Amino acid sequence: MEIKKLEPEVIEKAANMLKAVAHPVRIAIVQYLEDGEKRTVTEIHKKLGIEQSTASHHLVILKDRGVLSSKREGKNTWYFLRHPNLRDILNSIGDCCKE
């Protein structure tokens, strides 16, 4: 399969998204959100067994780089994958690591 030719600005954005995901905690967050459900920072930090401040820090990075989106409802902010195709990328990278 041939890799699509990308414009320089798209390459830059793609690199920033991949850099954002390139951390064990952020990969775990993306994996937790891959089912398409919206989750709060509280749900995320409890599920991953990390401090809430740590979860918040990583969520900001993922959101700023375009990996996640969020929706504010009352006192809660709900996070979800902006691009579900990211799970395919992570699955492909995971397959490469098995060799």
In a domain, 73, yes or no: yes
Whether 33 is covered by a domain: the verdict is: yes
pLDDT at 1: 66
| DSSP helix/strand/coil, 20 | helix
pLDDT score, position 96: 84
55 in a structural domain: yes
The residue segments making up the domain with residue 23 are: 8-97
What pLDDT does 99 receive?
66
Q: For every one of its 99 residues, what pLDDT tens digit does the chain have, with 9 covering 90 and above?
A: 677 788 889 889 889 999 999 999 999 999 999 999 999 999 999 999 999 999 999 999 999 999 999 999 999 999 999 988 888 888 888 888 886
What domain count does the chain have? 1
pLDDT at 26: 96
Residue at 26 is within a domain: yes
Q: Quick check: is 42 in a domain?
A: yes
79 and 41 in contact (C-beta within 8 Å)? yes
For residue 16, give both structure tokens.
Answer: 């920033």
78: CATH: 1.10.10.10
pLDDT on residue 22: 92
Q: Given 3-state DSSP classes, what are the helix, strand and coil percentages for the chain, each rounded to the nearest 5?
A: 60, 15, 30
Read off the pTM: 0.87
Is residue 3 in a domain? no
Asked whether residue 76 is assigned to any structural domain, the reply reads: yes
